[in-house]
Structure 1
């Protein structure tokens, strides 16, 4: 099973969740060879709950994942912490929504939840907890308290960072860091735009029907990370297209205000 463990379903935090946009993302994810993905939308995105309410209308949910025309979508979210850094949480929809409800007072910049408190909250549920892009300059995790980092399940080898800093540079940072903590490394495209799918993914030893199975294979090392030879081109094209789309959306908003 090929799965991307760090994806977004919206162009940006400030955009609305669009059925047309997301169904195009699903089509491209399948075209890129993915069998599954974790939808880790930002926890403080505009109208967070609309994402899962819309998915409930679009696709059947079996208690573990949505079946999007053959693509398995595991629920999740990406959470900012007070110390600076992002944590990916992946699990059953009810558990993700329960944690999100506990974050209602921590959505604004400057008032994000402390790392220890997030771990306490997340550990009430059987979630997969991944430290996102731990060496990204804007949101580094590596300087944080080791005892807290050890409570995560894995660390993210991120396509956006591999594009920005170089594939070998990222691997030489993330892999020894995770190994020193006794943790595996997982792959995530961090895509907000469909062209980035397939740039990097996890090839699991067997299909996973639940997050528990997914977590078990990751902790047992029953997978490989596959990095596309055209990762730089995929991510560059995605970044450029995202900028154009955001500019167009801004111009359209300005036009509507003048009407």
Structure 2
């Protein structure tokens, strides 16, 4: 029976001042080192990433939040060379998430561990409602000892967290969620056009509206009144609804 780690590890995300540089990510337990790489940066990937590991090629999410992915592994010479090969072999991806061992400089994943990780990542994404895998077949991962599997399980949760962080959710949103559960590009059915001189209906940058938390064309008196309610520890929306200002 394989042991399971339940405690999640915090992620450490390093952003460069140069926005063209990839985003470096590692789990706090110092096992999983990750790099989020834009496709047009692949040719400049550091040679230190020519080590064994697994990778996920990511398609952009569509209007429904679904996205495609290809999962692979690299053994010799390593991840850098494999990603360069995938520039020519696959044209669907816009980003790649590279995963390697990152604890001691003289240690790295072996080919069996990279293959096991590739297979488990495939299983993890294959069961997700928002993901279409480009792999034709499930990777054949080798059998490892319980101790080896236990150490590699620590990789899976950080990978899922990174995907969520960059907007690649594994499962559809709950339709009863506060924001409606739809994708950010959800279209709004607009009502009749306002009369000349009337304010335009508010639509947020996320595609949702109207937003009752924001005052439209407020007067100075309305602003002072709302600030006073907030300072008094009251919910302005509830007070305004009770007073008949909001339906």
TM-score normalised by length of structure 1: 0.30
**Structure with the bigger percentage of helix:** 1
TM-score normalised by length of structure 2: 0.31
Larger radius of gyration: 2
Of the two structures, which has the highest relative contact order with CA contacts closer than 8 Å and spacing of 6 or more? 1
